[in-house]
Amino acid sequence: MQEKNSPQVISVSPEVMGGTPVFAGTRVPIQTFLDYMEAGETIDDFLAGFPTVKREQLIQFLEQAKELMVANVA
């Protein structure tokens, strides 16, 4: 899960994209990243198309997703 000192990765606010989960500090939906990955694009492709998202945010998102998946399997 998210450590106390780690920055927030996902933001949800009715004022930003109508409450769609986005990468914090951006207007880029998390679903857009997942769609890129599903289509076989690379992280670099995604970052080139959405420069407001930082590589560190993506890595932290993937780490948190992994932790959640592992925790839900156990």
Q: Which domains does the chain have, with CATH numbers?
A: 10-73 (1.10.10.10)
Rounded alpha-carbon distances, angstroms, from residue 44 to 12, 20, 71: 25, 23, 28
In 10 A of CB 46, how many CB atoms? 19
One-letter amino acid of 6: S
Reported confidence tier of residue 73, pLDDT bands at 50, 70, 90: confident
Spatial distance between the Cα atoms of 35 and 73, rounded to a whole number of angstroms: 24
pLDDT tens, residue by residue, 27-69? 999 999 999 999 999 999 999 999 999 999 999 999 999 999 9
Can you give the pLDDT at residue 12?
92
